[in-house]
Structure 1
């Protein structure tokens, strides 16, 4: 597992274990059993979460989002990287090189 300040589009992400996830009004919400915290991933964060069910390269996540939402490639990549860093810091997403 990588816990690094620098993520690359070629890094692979996957869901961490031990979380209870549910859909609530079109948004994903999660309870981490390990740390006892509640998270609201939102709609787009929920899409990222679902795509990370199986290991996936960050660049493929970005490509998927750009093709389904009105967002610029560069802005999408910046936001996805920020989101992944946050979830990785909380132990919710696993990042591998």
Structure 2
């Protein structure tokens, strides 16, 4: 479960390439490809080597015209999906 203090970081494993503002990724281990839209790419870039979940959501709320609860819900979905695929690491 994500909390505002949860620490997010990207897995170093996938190969990535940005094309027209969207990120294409390949997980070498599984051989699967992933495509992130512009917002997913923005989140991926902000996660970088590590960021707190609460800090990430607050930064996104400043840059996007959406309610904080909506952003937190959408980021939770994105991050947990990426974690399930081994692309994002979550530390409580």
Instruction: Name stretches of at least 5 consecutive residues in structure 2 with no aligned partner.
Output: none
Deviation at 1:9, TM superposition (A): 2.1
Instruction: Name stretches of at least 5 consecutive residues in structure 1 with no aligned partner.
Output: 1-5
In structure 1, the partner of 2:25 is: 30
Q: CA RMSD in A?
A: 0.9
Cα shift readout 1:54-88 (whole Å, capped 9, x = no counterpart): 21001111111111111110000000001000000
Runs of 4+ in structure 1 displaced over 3 angstroms?
Answer: none
Q: Given the two structures, how large is their TM-score scaled by the length of structure 1?
A: 0.89
Preserved CA contact (<8 Å) 1:29 1:42: no
Deviation at 1:28, TM superposition (A): 1.2
How many correspondences in the alignment? 92
SS of the aligned residue for 1:13 comes to strand
